[in-house]
Amino acid sequence: MISITSIQQLFTPAFTVDIQKVKSNAKNMIERCQTLGVQLRPHMKTHKTLECADIMTGGSRRCIAVSTLAEARFYADNGFDDILYAYPLPLDKVGACAELAECLEMFHVLVDNEVAVTELKKRRLQVEKSWLVWLKLDCNNGRAGVQPEDTMALKLAKSIADSEGMELVGVYAHCGNSYEATNVKEIQAVAQETTRATLKFVEKLEKAGVRCPRSSIGSTPSCSHPVSNMGCLNEVHPGNYIFYDVQQLMIGSCQMDDIAVRVLTRVIGHYPHRNQLLIDCGWTGLSLHSLGKLPTGYALVEGHPELKLVGMTQEHGKIEPSSGKLDFEKFPLGSLLSLIPYHACATAAMHPVYYVHSDGRIITEWKPTRGW
């Protein structure tokens, strides 16, 4: 742990987390799910820390989703259970998944193809356990999953349900296309369509005699503004909501006051001949995810809407005014600037330590797990 007490004293670039905002975001999502009558299975991929996972699960250490095997092992080793590896099952990781399934009460895997099912059949679990398998649906997200209207989807569900040593736990859809929305109405339209398609497929399974106990959809936009028929689902699985970011702000998922994270950086150069400041934060401290998506460049400079982060190299950032001449006296060398990231998940992944504060006073450090 560091000995300094104020975020103003941190070596930069530094990733800071406002604990009060994190707790508020977690509380709001828990209450939202309780009102809907659905189980919250929070996704860990945004922060990948034990401390934040405890906040998101209300201290239960149960019912989480992860995106990497490293996360799954990390949480399992630290007392978490009922873990869904919410990623199309990589064939090289079947053995490692079996070890987790055999030592945990509930470790779930997700598939969207028959080859993965065949590999699970080859690796039967010990201790009289069955594989807990979710079928991944693609409800117009356009990433992983089988399309629910495709005959292959029903065939694959039957294959899982009929296989010895395997149990079809549920169907899982990520409405990531909600990130393409521009307002709450569009977000809710995506949520409505994803929910409708998922529930319709569950009905199809029931008519075919295929038992499928659970249905789950999720994204931070859709779960921040849920539609009523989401209450017909069993679970939702958002993740980014715990931090939020500028991307979520732009599409209407949150307000500025909900964004819990910042990247602190210092001015390290004045270059009047090109009307620019140089800062000590490059893409290794922020990521390049926002390229071309913000009028202010790669991030928002808190308190300075007139500034634009126009470019980054590995360890440097270039800031200039949106128009006119830069007043360099307002930003002396060594002065601190606060960047609000476009994508909190991508930015958090750049930092080995998160400095957690309350009203600017550092109260602890969180160290995320890394790897795949």
Q: Which of 363, 365, 345 is nearest to 48 (CA)?
A: 345
Structure tokens at 126: 């010990």
In Å, what is the CA distance from 342 to each residue of 62, 101, 125, 251, 311? 30, 36, 42, 12, 14
> What is the reported pLDDT for 112?
97
Residue with tokens 């949106």, as numbered in its chain: 322
Q: Which of 60, 115, 126 is nearest to 92 (CA)?
A: 115
Q: Which of 95, 94, 56 is nearest to 75 (CA)?
A: 56
Neighbour-count burial of 350, counting CB atoms closer than 10 A to its CB (0-12 exposed, 13-18 middle, 19+ buried): middle
> What is the reported pLDDT for 236?
98
In eight-state DSSP terms, residue 302 is: T
Quick one: CA torsion of 26, 29, 33, 39, rounded to 10 degrees? -40
> What is the reported pLDDT for 291?
76
- Helix pair angle (151-162, 184-207), 10° resolution: 60
pLDDT averaged over 10-residue windows placed end to end, the chain, 372 residues:
81 98 98 97 98 98 98 98 98 98 98 98 94 96 94 96 97 95 96 97 97 96 97 97 97 98 98 98 95 90 97 97 96 98 98 97 97 96
Q: Full-prediction pTM beyond 0.85? A: yes
Count of CB atoms within 10 A of residue 315's CB?
A: 14
Structure tokens at 197: 């398609």
Q: Which of 203, 153, 134, 143 is nearest to 174 (CA)?
A: 143
> What is the reported pLDDT for 4?
77
Q: How many helices (H) and strands (E) does the chain have?
A: 11, 17
Chain centroid to CA 261: 14
Contact criterion met (CB below 8 Å) for 136 and 146: yes
> What is the reported pLDDT for 290?
85
Contact criterion met (CB below 8 Å) for 32 and 241: no
> What is the reported pLDDT for 204?
97
Structural domains of the chain ordered from first start: 37-243 (3.20.20.10), 256-366 (2.40.37.20)
> What is the reported pLDDT for 2?
52
Contact criterion met (CB below 8 Å) for 75 and 53: yes
Count of CB atoms within 10 A of residue 287's CB?
A: 22
User: DSSP letter string over 221-265?
Assistant: HHHHS--GGGGGSSEE---GGGT--HHHHHHTS--GGG--EEEEE
